[in-house]
Structure 1
């Protein structure tokens, strides 16, 4: 299957916490980076998710927020992945930013050109990628 989403990560389910309607699923990527997803309990059941199950986390690049200087920042996004900016592709309106987050994983974000300029985003610099747990789509083979 081919996907239009830029960010597809493989990992192992390392935790599931079920609520009345939704479940919080933690997927541990190669290199140990955790990704937290919130999906329905029905999705957990239909995908056959359990601790130890191999799964994929899919996140659209437009759902990823880029930040710098987040040392003491408090944000509601459950997923914060910091690393080195590997690539910046500037356009007149949007800029694509790729951040190496370790374990051979790179996360892509599409932000406005103005935001990239204001943040001083440059290849080799430090940046963090943030996204909500509800922005993660889970899949299994």
Structure 2
């Protein structure tokens, strides 16, 4: 599969919480990293999602926000994934930060040069990758 989004989490559906309009779907990778997505009930049905089914969660790197240090606030983002910076790619306008999660998955975030400096990011830094469940696209094998 070729896709332009940098973050692709392959795993299995481990939970579905259905509501009257939307559902919350958890996808857990083989290493144990869990991604939460919200999608319409119609999408759950059209994708035939069920616990145990193979699925993929896709997140654009520009939708990921990074948090460094001790937070002063709690955040509403359902996906708050702690990890370690393993790469910093310098761009003309923005930088690409690569984060390794405990289960072995990687998360890429595109952030400004200023954010890298303000957060004090370097390889080995501890960070939390934040992204909304509504920013996770869910796919299933064709």
Do the structures match in fold with TM over 0.5?
A: yes
Unmatched segments (≥5 aa) in structure 2: none
Corresponding residue number in structure 1 for 2:100: 100
Distance in 1, matches of 2:30 and 2:88, equals: 24
Of 31-40 and 63-72, the range deviating more from structure 2: 63-72
Distance in 2, matches of 1:30 and 1:102, equals: 12
In the alignment, does 2:60 pair up with 1:60? Answer: yes
TM superposition outliers: structure 1 runs of 4+ over 4 Å: none
- Secondary structure in structure 1 of the residue aligned to 2:96: strand
Distance in 2, matches of 1:75 and 1:43, equals: 26
Corresponding residue number in structure 2 for 1:74: 74
Distance in 2, matches of 1:134 and 1:66, equals: 17
Distance in 2, matches of 1:53 and 1:72, equals: 38
Distance in 1, matches of 2:36 and 2:102, equals: 17
Corresponding residue number in structure 1 for 2:49: 49
**TM score, norm. by length of structure 1:** 0.95
Corresponding residue number in structure 2 for 1:27: 27
Q: How many residues align?
A: 141
Residue 42 of structure 1 deviates from its aligned partner by: 0.7
**TM score, norm. by length of structure 2:** 0.94
Corresponding residue number in structure 1 for 2:91: 91
* 8 Å CA contact retained: 2:33, 2:105: no
Distance in 2, matches of 1:22 and 1:42, equals: 8
Residue 72 of structure 1 deviates from its aligned partner by: 5.6
Within 5 Å, which residues of 2 pair with 1:2-13?
2-13=2-13
RMSD: 1.2
* 8 Å CA contact retained: 2:57, 2:136: yes
Unmatched segments (≥5 aa) in structure 1: none
